[in-house]
Structure 1
């Protein structure tokens, strides 16, 4: 009898166990958790090529994303450094999301440390365009003093406080809202005074060619930022790299990023285009594109990066796609224009090939 009971109990337990594992998971091949999509850019001219986005919003201003989610998004998208730049003046969620102007940075800091993402402390100064427009203050020490008195006529007091803190000032989307790039007197004044150091030539989905000319003529640094308010994956197509910057840093630290920005070693990249000084664009091209002599007048050209290069010349005219090798024929060296590497709104990088 005991034997029969034991056998019966065995079958009951076995049946229960079978039911509990009647499940086949495909999570390992369907879920993207803990998977990083690297942006392949080689180190350039002896510097580390750090990829960054320096214009991002969270629920602490007019975004819909938690600060820690911005960090996880950056890691997933292959970035090395970001700045959360919540508006000082515009906080539509303030009745529901409590905290001062430093709170989004404080909430994201631990996640950034755990994921190895460099997190720049920053805020966005916000007003009408003639009164200063939108300016990111990067590398601030305390965002709270950036808040202006309600009767302030423009951004002057906030800009001066950011400069006092040693911040890097970046003029955002100069062509936004009015659909034209206009150099307003205050922005020109702050550039000439050395307060504004950079300008967005790419923002979200827009390119501002006139801003590229300001980069050349006024000796300021170009930037490409998403200005993301929601998750980037909900906005950009999966096969599109959102705007990002290549920061040529001596070391992978916040101080290394800061030093590179103040030195102007930034290449703005978006939609298969890049803007920078001729020297940096040439260094980018030479680091990413390799030429190999096969035999006679037969050559190969290889792009080892994730940036395409539009090469235009009589001997070689092609779009050299990312991580691609092409064959071509040439009789000695020749001049070429790289038409997607912009020096200003009217000129592109000129190189000698072979």
Structure 2
């Protein structure tokens, strides 16, 4: 009887420790452990990392976090002047570890699949190798499911899915020949569970989870690693640039400095730690995102009860730090 009581007490103690930890950390517990005791991003010094969508937001701050550790970079996005700004910032942050030739800027529209091979070959020509591809480029969405124009679905999948898959296949084929490599994709907590008022975005991130979860399984036992990076709300221009339900329209409402969002700097640092430790999947987000994500994945019944109690509008408030209004998302 004492033995059973000891087991019961241990389970309760472990569960309480786990729950309290999730309320304190700003990422999953594996990544939180690595941030304290794992491999430092300094271990990536001298490696070549290719980052899409590097002109702002998570892509920019991941580049900055890596540059501090002497990582050579390929930066792509549409806005050349912003890429050049990020490049100069990264050179400064490296404190002499990087020079002008160590950061290659390639302006491009990543949805133009015909240029992927060209920019990939330019990377190899410039550096002689590639070690890590970070697929970061993408856009979010705020809209009501039944009013979304099918053209919006197509555009979002072109950017968030097909561009990512096409570029990654080039990288994986190269890594197969090289014998090693690392593909990372910035997915989202929206790829882990369904979020309201972002149906197309959520679907695109679930597609990413499917594609690269499959690739992870195929590459088990090899020297090719695959990492899914899943941030929750982050303070960037991502919200303002989001799709709505209308083709060609942007959400246009910026995140506020008072919103409860992870800073892009912190997210970039966590992404760098995940890359250094070759995690399979890393979640990031301020409270209550971590407990909610764990409940959604590991305790779906509890999650469904909580969602029914809170309602989708409350979940939206957790995500965007405000109540949803029909006028804001233009879904009436």
Give the structure, 1 or 2, with the largest relative contact order (CA under 8 Å, sep 6 or more): 2
Instruction: Give the TM interval when normalised to the shorter protein.
Output: 0.3 to 0.5
TM-score of the superposition, structure 1-length normalised? 0.37
Higher strand share: 1
